[in-house]
Amino acid sequence: MLLLIKNGTVINPGDRTEVKADVLVEDGVIKKIAPKQTIKADRMIDAKNCYVMPGFIDMHVHLRDPGMEHKETVDTGVRAAVHGGFTTVVAMPNTKPVVDNADVVNYVHNKAKNIGLAQVLQAGAVTKGQRGEELSDIEGMVEAGIPAISEDGKSVMDAQLYREAMTIAVKYDIPVLAHCEDINLVNGGVVNADDVTEKMRLKGISNAVEDTIAARDILLSKETGAALHLCHCSTKDSVKMVEMAKKAGIRVTAEVCPHHFILTSSDMKENDANYKMNPPLRTREDVEALRKGLKADIMDVIATDHAPHTAIEKGVGIKKAPFGIVGLETAAALTMTELVDKGWLTIMQMAEKMSYNPAQILGLDKGMVEEGKAADLVIFDPSRESMIDPADFRSKGKNTPFTGMKVKGMVMATIVAGKIVYEKTEK
């Protein structure tokens, strides 16, 4: 099977080159990158005015499978992924049951393999049942192919137990993906702690809720040598700490989600739980710091923290609704519109943060557009405009605060191992 992608601009973060060229794919592998190829292929894609980029890798999604299939399934999750240009996703373990042993890892991996769209890598929980009391079967899960451990949804509050988990992660050479939240400091908070939310009479979550655990985890990484990756950073001080840690040679990387680099608590609509997520929308100062951190490559990764919930679950008001918003089908356009188009990031940095850097952190031979590599690609039109409409989502979750927003940038096609798994049908 020969696939020829013609007339695009190839973005390769592997060697930081941007060239106008055609990409020939044979049997799932990139065969030749060169201008004006004339070979007769089985399938041709015209990528005129588009970037040909390495398929996006989202190292933070919630697929809700097993156990919460009313919110999302592996099937709807990977359909959402490829619709958003993602060819690989890392699924968090806060399912029912929790992913704390090899059986659940195998269940998710097999399900994704049978569907055959995006690749799903299941992360393993740090503790049994995410109860924070006893370590899960990390070794067994490593054998089953987890790329990382994470207690996402919460922090392991017992620092000694977390340190032990880190030493095991070092042994198996996998990163620890850290959700930073001191649960005692949360103290019933539902939104950011600031003037805006005080006027709404809502209980606040202060920056220290995140910052204290970020600091602790960085110090534990320093002590154990574990590769620590901070999930969904939302505060200006987490950016500062990541910068300091990197300068000190500590193995830390960090991710930022689109909602945190775009919205503040002032954007919240009265009692609309589509603005409720963990960590919460912070202040303008935090947003600025996150953008500067991304620009300066202090912050390595853009991840979505795709967290689907049903309209009924989200419809009960901001105090009672669960935390989380969807992100797989809006991340690329939001990043293009808010960061690349406004000069915060180059297109190369976008490719690094949405593909190359996650691959490096997870130890995957992905994130590059190079001859001989597997053809995981996204054809992305940077100037095509649209309006965000959850009715277009493949995800079961429609819970987004970005409904109605005009954005620039559209995924035209997604290719996994040489197979076209999503293609925009013209309207």
Ligand X SMILES: NC(=O)N[C@@H](CC(=O)O)C(=O)O
Catalytic residues: 305
Residue 306 pairs with which residues in a beta bridge? 61
- Tell me if 282 contacts ligand X by CB under 6 A: no
Residues numbered 293-322 forming contacts with Zn ion, rule: CB under 5 A: 305
**The token pair that represents 32 in the structure block:** 């030749």
Nearest of 89, 170, 77, 97 to residue 122 by alpha carbon: 89
Out of 10, 53, 61, 62, name the contact with ligand X by CB under 6 A.
Answer: 62
**Tokens representing residue 83 in the block:** 């619709």
Among 64, 71, 79, 179, binds Zn ion (CB under 5 A): 179
Work out whether the CA dihedral 238, 16, 371, 116 comes out positive or negative: positive
Least distance to ligand X from the beta carbon of 344, Å?
23
Q: Is position 278 an interface residue for ligand X (rule: CB under 6 A)? A: yes
Residue 282, strand partner residues? none
Q: Does 68 bind ligand X (CB under 6 A)?
A: no
Range in contact with Zn ion (rule: CB under 5 A) among 179-187, 188-196, 292-300, 416-424: 179-187
Binding of residue 254 to ligand X (CB under 6 A): no
Residue 277 binding target from ligand X, Zn ion, none, CB below 5 to 8 Å by type: ligand X
Q: Site for ligand X (CB under 6 A): which residue of 94, 101, 206, 414?
A: 94
Buried b or exposed e, range 229-243, using 16+ CB within 10 angstroms: bbbbbbbbbbbebbb
Interaction between residue 359 and ligand X (CB under 6 A): no
Indicate the angle between helix axes 207-224 and 236-247, nearest 10 degrees: 10
Instruction: Mention every residue, 6+ apart, whose C-beta is less than 8 A from residue 384.
Output: 408, 409, 410, 412
Partner whose binding site includes residue 324, from Zn ion, ligand X, none (CB under 5 to 8 Å by kind) = ligand X
Phi and psi at residue 249, to the nearest 5°: 80, 15
5, 148, 263, 277: which one binds ligand X (CB under 6 A):
277
Q: Please report how close the Cβ of residue 330 comes to ligand X at its closest, in angstroms.
A: 15
Closer residue to ligand X (CB): 314 or 366: 314
Among 68, 323, 344, 408, indicate the residue that binds ligand X (CB under 6 A). Answer: 323
Nearer to ligand X, 4 or 178 (CB): 178
Q: Site size for ligand X, by CB under 6 A?
A: 11
72: contact with Zn ion by CB under 5 A: no
Indicate whether 211 belongs to the interface with Zn ion (CB under 5 A).
no
340 backbone dihedrals φ, ψ, rounded to 5°: -75, -50
Using the contact rule CB under 5 A, the part of the chain among 27-35, 152-160, 356-364, 382-390 near Zn ion is 152-160
In the complex, the smallest distance separating the C-beta of residue 42 from Zn ion, rounded to whole angstroms, is 40
| Residue 79 makes contact with ligand X by CB under 6 A | no
Of 383, 386, 422, 379, give the one whose Cα is nearest residue 402: 386
Regarding 152 and contact with Zn ion (CB under 5 A), the answer is yes
Partner that binds at residue 216, options Zn ion, ligand X, none, CB closer than 5 to 8 Å by kind: none
Distance separating alpha carbons of residues 289 and 84, to the nearest angstrom: 26
Q: What is the DSSP letter of 265?
A: G
What is the rounded distance in angstroms from the CA atom of residue 5 to the CA atom of residue 26?
Answer: 11
Comparison of 203 and 246: residue with beta carbon closer to ligand X: 203
- Using DSSP's 3-state secondary structure scheme, residue 202 falls into coil
Considering only residues 286 through 305, tell me which ones interact with ligand X, judged by CB under 6 A. 305
Nearest to 85 by CA among 361, 426, 327, 362: 327
Beta bridge partners of 301: 255
Shorter beta-carbon distance to ligand X: residue 194 or 305 = 305
Shortest Cβ 324–ligand X spacing (Å): 3
Among 85, 324, 367, 390, binds ligand X (CB under 6 A): 324
Residue closer to ligand X, measured from CB, 25 or 213: 213
Kindly state the smallest distance separating residue 324's Cβ from Zn ion, in Å. Answer: 7
**Residue 356, by phi and psi: left (phi above 0), alpha (psi -120 to 50) or beta?**
alpha
Where in 139-178 is the site for ligand X (CB under 6 A)? 152-153
DSSP codes of every residue in 329-376: TTHHHHHIIIIITTTSS-HHHHHIIIIIHHHHHHT-S-S---TTSB--
Rule CB under 6 A: which residues touch ligand X? 62, 94, 152-153, 179, 277-278, 305, 307, 323-324
